[in-house]
Amino acid sequence: MGALDYALLGLLARRPLSGWEILKRFNRSIVFFWNAKRTQIYAELRRLERLGLVSSRLVVQGPRPNKRHYAITAAGRTALRAWLDRPTPAQPIKDEMLLRTFFADLLPSPRVASYLRRHGEEHRRVLGEFETIRAALEARHGPLEATGDRALAFGYLVLEQGIRFERMYAEWCRWAAEAAERRPARTGRAAADVDTPDFIMTT
């Protein structure tokens, strides 16, 4: 059972939904912190039904395409609670930007600085979007720190993490680009003479 399964159970714990509705809701919040594609979501729903964690019934609706209505079962609720109550295992990081930067000595410094800046702009753009969303939520529901809606309150915590993450990343990009610019374009040393930096201190 991957995390996506619990995301789907979580949505269905709030109310029964069709696959299509799940997809829509997923893409309006969860996808920002847990990415998944349509085909996988449909496949997982069927798997969850095989496992008895959700039930479904087919809704025939005349001319429009049939849809499948899903609801969480008692077993599904139990599984979801158990997952929520388990400690989250530390997640290994995969960040392609950092990988590139790590090997950036193979590229001239101005190039590195420029892609760091471009990447930083992208993070600032997303940051702006998140801040717009927060403002819109506050306009609609009042101060988020004091909302009585528990689901919204936790949604706000998650949104705030996104904001902090994007801000941190954008600031790092700017700082790193400046550092790359201050550096001579290329030393005389060949790349082959340079050793891979070692982050583990054996002493």
- Measured CA to CA in angstroms, residue 52 lies from 13, 76, 78, 155, 161 at distances of 14, 7, 12, 28, 34
Give the bridge partners for 163, in sequence order. none
Decide if residue 25 touches a second copy (CB under 8 A). yes
User: Please, is 48 exposed, middle or buried when counting C-beta atoms within 10 Å of its C-beta (0-12, 13-18, 19+)?
Assistant: buried
Neighbours of 136 (CB within 10 A): 10
- What residues between 61 and 80 interact with a second copy by CB under 8 A? 80
Q: Rounded distance, CA 160 to CA 138, Å?
A: 13
The region of 8-16, 57-65, 111-119, 158-166 touching DNA under the rule CB under 7 A is 57-65
| Member of 45, 72, 126, 180 binding DNA (CB under 7 A) | 45
Per partner kind, with CB cut-offs from 5 to 8 A, the member of a second copy, DNA, none near residue 12 is none
Decide if residue 32 touches DNA (CB under 7 A). no
For the chain, the straight-line distance linking the first and the last C-alpha, in angstroms and rounded, comes to 40
- What residues between 129 and 148 interact with a second copy by CB under 8 A? 132-133, 136-137, 145, 148
- Measured CA to CA in angstroms, residue 30 lies from 36, 80, 130, 145 at distances of 9, 16, 13, 20
Decide if residue 3 touches DNA (CB under 7 A). yes
Per partner kind, with CB cut-offs from 5 to 8 A, the member of a second copy, DNA, none near residue 19 is DNA
Residue 114, CB-side half-sphere exposure with 13 Å CA sphere = 6
| Member of 43, 59, 118, 142 binding a second copy (CB under 8 A) | 118
State which residue, 26 or 156, has the beta carbon closest to DNA. Answer: 26
Decide if residue 92 touches DNA (CB under 7 A). yes
């689901």: which residue's tokens? 151
State which residue, 15 or 111, has the beta carbon closest to DNA. Answer: 15
Decide if residue 20 touches a second copy (CB under 8 A). no
Decide if residue 9 touches DNA (CB under 7 A). no
Decide if residue 13 touches a second copy (CB under 8 A). yes
Q: Rounded distance, CA 31 to CA 17, Å?
A: 17
Per partner kind, with CB cut-offs from 5 to 8 A, the member of DNA, a second copy, none near residue 28 is a second copy
Decide if residue 43 touches a second copy (CB under 8 A). no
State which residue, 25 or 46, has the beta carbon closest to a second copy. Answer: 25
